[in-house]
């Protein structure tokens, strides 16, 4: 839009509101039957001792703007939720950055992908060639 353009942004699309992370925290807290105070008291990163404050959790669950959590806060919330850190990372990435996690028909496939980074590059290349012999490229539907 030109600086002097008098057209308003009324026709601009409304940005998509994503709430995967907020919904996860809210539903998990309900499953655990915990109030905000008790949940926040448990939201402590076991590595650094960083705590997630009650007010931040409240704003998140209420749909108010919040600063995206850092890994320390994610670990703290994972402790409070009694969930794996990766579950919270996937939901936070989706909500705050629009990055959708890997979806698969099986949890095994997701587990394999998560382990790939620990395999040396030459072995990853050989693994890919092996997979291509079993399922040729283009047959992944």
pLDDT in tens, 115-125: 777 888 888 88
Domains in the chain: boundaries: 20-97, 102-141
Average pLDDT over residues 96-107: 72
Is residue 8's pLDDT more than 80? no
CA 114 – CA 104 distance, rounded (Å): 12
- The CATH number, out of the four listed (3.40.50.300, 1.10.10.10, 1.10.260.40, 2.40.50.140), of the domain defined by the range 20-97: 1.10.260.40
Q: Is the pTM of this model over 0.85?
A: no
Please write the tens of the pLDDT for every residue from 23-81: 999 999 999 999 999 999 999 999 999 999 999 999 999 999 999 999 999 999 999 99
pLDDT higher for 97 or 32? 32
Distance of alpha carbon 136 from alpha carbon 64, whole angstroms: 47
| Residues 67, 53 contacting (CB under 8 angstroms) | no
> In whole numbers, what is the pLDDT of the chain averaged over residues?
84
Do the beta carbons of residue 18 and residue 11 sit within 8 Å? Answer: no
CB atoms under 10 Å from CB of 109, counted, come to 12
């Amino acid at each position: 839009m030109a600086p002097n353009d008098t057209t308003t942004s009324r026709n601009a699309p409304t940005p998509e509101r994503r709430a995967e992370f907020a919904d996860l925290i809210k539903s998990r807290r309900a499953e655990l039957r915990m109030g905000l105070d008790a949940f926040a008291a448990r939201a402590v990163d076991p590595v650094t001792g960083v705590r997630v404050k009650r007010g931040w959790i409240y704003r998140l669950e209420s749909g108010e703007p919040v600063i995206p959590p850092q890994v320390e806060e994610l670990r703290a919330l994972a402790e409070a939720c009694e969930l794996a850190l990766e579950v919270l990372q996937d939901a936070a990435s989706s909500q705050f950055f629009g990055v959708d996690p890997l979806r698969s028909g099986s949890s095994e496939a997701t587990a394999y992908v998560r382990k790939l980074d620990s395999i040396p590059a030459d072995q990853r290349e050989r693994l890919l060639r092996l997979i291509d012999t079993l399922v040729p490229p283009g047959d992944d539907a």
